Structure 1
Amino acid sequence: MIYVVSDLHFFHADLLTSQHFAPRPFGTVENMHKTIIENWNARVTPTDTVYHLGDIAMLNRKPSESNPMILEVLNQLNGHLVLIKGNHDSRSLFKYLATNNYALDDGKVKFSFEDVGTYFKLNHYQFYLTHYPMLFGVNQNLINLHGHIHNATVPIKENLNVGIDSPEKDYLQTPIPFGAPFSEAEIFEMIQGKRDDFAKRR
């Protein structure tokens, strides 16, 4: 199974009381981490693949201190993680994760890395996965899955914010637990929900 999510922002205490983004409903980052890990592992199996579209963590410490702390948290998440670099992800972190990479029980590595983005095809759709929103023009079978903008949306139906703070989660009939990555079915439901929303505005 394939899942997609963005902007976990582990260790980012300012997001709990942010005035610029929707504040996350946790008293401490430890509680936030616990909730994300539990909700993630409740749906992702050890053999699933999760595309994370940038901004794994934000921890203002020296890389020699912060990188092992981030790895410790990521090791608690089920699945193979395809990590796309966000504006808060350092090359130092990616190098550290690569150095400490390992194979899971199915023989595939825990971490793989994309500097700018990647894409895959599914059900006759082309999905371009990036951290920043990208404008590819109007093409109903080409969708940009992105993060970066937290609780905002791009007013184009071919762009879908898959960050854990995304307001486009409201297109889902069944609410998704905080921090859980989006399944293939949920991605398609959100795409259709955004299209229906735009059609009502005409």
Structure 2
Amino acid sequence: MQYFTADTHFFDKYLLGIDNFAPRPFKTVDEMNQTIIDNWNQRVKPDDTVYHLGDIAVYFTHPAVLSNQAVFSVLKQLNGHLILIKGNHDSRSLFKYLANHNFDVDGKPKFQFHDVGALIKFNHCQYYMTHYPMLLGIVKQIINLHGHIHHNSIPIKENINVGIDTPEVQYLDHKISFGTPFSEQEIEQMVRGKAIDFDKRQ
């Protein structure tokens, strides 16, 4: 199975509470981290693939290796093969550290890396996966899955925010636990729901 997520922001203390940029109702980063890990692993199996579209963590120390070790310790706990697309908060130092400490799960590397984005196809649709939203305009059968904007939505129906704070969960017919990566079926439901929503406004 393939899953999709972005903007986990592990260790980001500035997102805690109710009065911040992207409020997350946790008292500590440890509580937030563990909630994401638990909800992720309830869905994702060890042999699944998760596309993470950037901003893995926000935790920088001197020396940087200490923060890289901490982020690695979290990512090791997440089920699945992680395909990591670099976000604005993801340092090259972190990607290099993960590459140097990569390991196999069922004969496949735990981590794969993309600096800009990746393209996949399923169910007759192309999905461009980037951290920053792409302003594609009017296109057919091309969807941009992205993160970066947290609790906001791009007013273009072909752009789907898959970050864990996304407001586009409104297009799902069920609730999803915080931090749970989206399935292909949920992505398709979000695409359909946003298209219907836009058609109603015409």
TM range (shorter): over 0.9
Structure 1: gaps of 5 or more residues: none
Match for 2:6: what amino acid?
Answer: S
Kindly indicate whether the alpha-carbon contact (under 8 Å) linking 2:14 and 2:20 is maintained by their aligned counterparts in 1: no
Distance in 2, Cα, partners of 1:18 & 1:25: 6
CA-CA distance at 1:136 after TM superposition: 2.1
1:66 is matched with which residue? 67
CA-CA distance at 1:172 after TM superposition: 0.5
Q: What is the TM-score normalised by the length of structure 2?
A: 0.97
1:27 is matched with which residue? 27
Per-residue CA deviations over 1:122-144 (Å, capped at 9, x if unaligned) read 11100000000002231130000
Match for 1:72: what amino acid?
Answer: S
Match for 1:186: what amino acid?
Answer: E
CA-CA distance at 1:22 after TM superposition: 3.1
1:154 aligns to 2:154 (yes or no): yes
2:102 is matched with which residue? 101
After TM superposition, which residue ranges in structure 1, 4 or more long, deviate above 6 angstroms? none
CA-CA distance at 1:19 after TM superposition: 4.4
Tell me the percent identity: 61
Per-residue CA deviations over 1:9-67 (Å, capped at 9, x if unaligned) read 00000101364523001111111111101100000000000000000000131212100
Q: Root-mean-square deviation (CA), in Å? A: 1.0
Q: How many residues align?
A: 201
Kindly indicate whether the alpha-carbon contact (under 8 Å) linking 2:17 and 2:26 is maintained by their aligned counterparts in 1: no
Q: What is the TM-score normalised by the length of structure 1?
A: 0.97
Per-residue CA deviations over 1:142-161 (Å, capped at 9, x if unaligned) read 00000000000100000000
Structure 2: gaps of 5 or more residues: none
CA-CA distance at 1:189 after TM superposition: 0.3
1:41 is matched with which residue? 41
2:56 is matched with which residue? 56
Per-residue CA deviations over 1:57-99 (Å, capped at 9, x if unaligned) read 0013121210000000000000000000000000000000000
Distance in 2, Cα, partners of 1:102 & 1:33: 22
